[in-house]
A = this chain, B = another copy of it.
Amino acid sequence: MKVFLISNTENPEKTCAAAALTSYWYKGASETYEKLSKKEIEGILRKVIGYGHISVIEHASFTFSIEGVSRACTHQLVRHRMASYTQQSQRYVEIEHFEPVIPSSIQKNKSALHVFGDFLSNVLDTYKKLIKNNILPEDARFILPNATRTNIVITMNARELLHVFRLRCCNRAQWEIQEMAWKMLKLCKEKAPVIFENAGPLCITEGKCIEGDLACDVWKSLEGKKNKKEIMKKYFEKRFG
C-alpha cells in the first residue's frame, strides 16, 4: 500500500486561523491573513479547537492518492460521505495484471495461503477468457475478488479527517484501512502539526475506549494501569512509525 499526499490547501493552518479570527473580530481576513505569525496561528488554533469550535478547520483540505489497496478496503472507505473520491474504474479499464492484496493473517498461515493462492491463480485467466468471449469489462469484472488491487484519490477536510482517524486508526478497524489511516495521519502532521497534534483513536487522544467488550486485546490488557494513553501511543508508534 502506498499513501501519497498529492496536494492540500496552501498554508492550511494560517488559512484556518484567519477564518477563526473572522468569527471573533470585526476585521476581515484580507487585513489579518498576511500578518499572522506562526505563534499567533498556533495560539488561535489551540484556543478554538479547545473550545470545540472545530468547524474552522474545515477550511483546510487534503488530497491523497491511496494505491494498491483491496476493493474491500475502498468499499469501506467510500462510505465516509463528507469527502470526494476518484477511483480506478473496473467498468471501463480492462485489467492486464492481477496481483491480489493478501491479508497478513493468510500470509502467515501456510495452509490458508495455499488455498488462497490456488483459487486466485485462475482469476486473470478466467477474466481474459471472458473478454475473449466478447464479454465487456463491465461484466467480466463480476469474477474479480475483493482482493483485487485498486487506486483511489480522496479529498477530505481536516475536520472529517479527525473523525476518520478517530474511527479508523483504532486497533479494531480492519487492518488495511487502519494502516491507511495511520499513513494519512503522518502526512497530515507534516503539513498541519497543530491541527493534527491530538489526532488518532480515542485511546491515545483521550486515554479512553468506548468499545466496551469489543475493545482490542491491547487495551484490555491494560486494565488497572495508569498510563494507558502513553502505552497505547508507544504501541502504535512501534507498528506504524
Residues of A within 8 A of B (CB): 2, 4, 6-12, 14-15, 18-20, 22-30, 33, 51-52, 55-56, 58-59, 61, 63, 65, 67-68, 70-72, 75, 78-79, 81-82, 84-93, 95-97, 100-103, 105-106, 109, 111-112, 115-116, 118-120, 122-123, 126, 129-130, 133-136, 138-139, 141-147, 151-153, 155, 157, 174, 210, 214
Contact = CB atoms under 8 A, between A and B. Distances in A.
A16 to B, nearest CB: 9
A120 B126 CA distance: 10
Contacts of A109: 133-135
6 contacts: A22-B65, A22-B151, A24-B93, A51-B214, A72-B142, A142-B147
A14 to B, nearest CB: 8
Contact of A153 (B18, B115, B122, B151): B18
A9 B61 contact: yes
A157 B52 CA distance: 23
Q: Is the interface of A mostly helix, strand, loop or mixed?
A: mixed
A106 B28 contact: no
A213 to B, nearest CB: 10
6 smallest CB-CB distances across A and B, nearest first, come from A58-B84, A29-B65, A28-B67, A4-B30, A103-B139, A112-B133
Given A2-B30, A72-B141, A109-B135, 16 more contacts: A2-B28, A6-B18, A9-B9, A22-B86, A22-B151, A23-B87, A30-B67, A59-B84, A61-B61, A103-B142, A112-B129, A112-B135, A115-B129, A119-B122, A119-B126, A138-B174
Contacts of A97: 26
Contact of A84 (B86, B116, B157): B157
A151 B31 CA distance: 12
Contacts of A86: 19-20, 22-23, 55-56, 59
B153 A130 contact: no
Q: Specify which of A12, A146, A174 lies most central, judged by the most chain B CB atoms within 10 Å of its CB.
A: A146
